[in-house]
Structure 1
Amino acid sequence: MRVVVKTVGTVLTAILLGYPLWAPEWGLGILGEIGALGMPGGLIAVAAFFGLVALYCRALHRTMTLLPPEARTGAPASVWWMFAIPYNFTEDFFIVRTVSTSMTASVTADARVTGGFVRWWAALGYGWCAFQILSLFPGTAGYVGGAIALPLWAAHWIMTGRVNRRLAARQPAAPLTESL
């Protein structure tokens, strides 16, 4: 079922990204927005955005590596699928789910992260994912989607930093001593 959802989601995302080709009367889409910035403005905007995505992925990767291996429901490196356009628009939901279920599995064994925190973290994550897809729509819907997605993404990133600090603050194991 996951493969079907990911495939259908990717195809629908590609259709949305391509609307300037099949419905030019709707506008130029994201490429038009980037083009409106001119050169080098558009290039700088794209590079800055992908730089931020890389930092965000690094934070999620760190979250997964800080969780006990037995709690992980996916590989830490799987968060880097956020760079696989247009697949990433659907995959982002699965990334949020993988990290949140991994944190939930860790909650039972580790009191540093509460179940309420994980639920709020997941809700923000699914929210930015959904509004990110809405941002692909033409016109006002797309602008509103983007305007909502970005602050949700920032809030989610801030929460990811908080959970990383909590997870990294684990007490070191008692030193082993040799008995004579």
Structure 2
Amino acid sequence: MAQPTVPSRIVLMGVAGSGKSAVGAALAARIDAVYLDGDDLHPPENIARMSRGEPLTDDDRWPWLTLIGQRFAKADGILIFGCSALKRRYRDRIREEAGAPVTFVHLAGSRALIAARMGARAGHFMPASLLDSQFEALEPPEDDEDAITVDIDRPLETLVDTIAAKLKETRP
């Protein structure tokens, strides 16, 4: 019997500090995928705003979300993007631009856990002061979305094992 495959377009979503980059790199290695950090597609103006502690507006995000969806549309093989995708309409934009199904993996954790992680990381442009705005904007995936929610309060290896198994379950 053939091994089940995983979806070919995956977004690791969640607030800043939820582990998108670490989980993305580990998951990509596990399932033979390419991981891209959505932050790398932000225009310099967005990075500057966030660096100053200013939350992005929807208008700031639309071109960025469009680019992510367009990358999915051109992808060969399995592509994983780390992207906050905090609101339903943001996820809808990515799906629309991708022109194909996109599976979202919501990396969910408590504000206290994520604040502690943000305080411990160095060299990232996103200040911890924006964490409240991230949680305020967060609209967790709904039942009608192709989405998986996982609790990030566990070791990375266990988290990646859980996500990989759940991704295999999402295939028909």
TM over 0.5: no
Structure with more of its chain in strand, by fraction: 2
TM-score (norm 2): 0.24
Structure with more of its chain in helix, by fraction: 1
**Larger C-alpha radius of gyration, 1 or 2?**
1
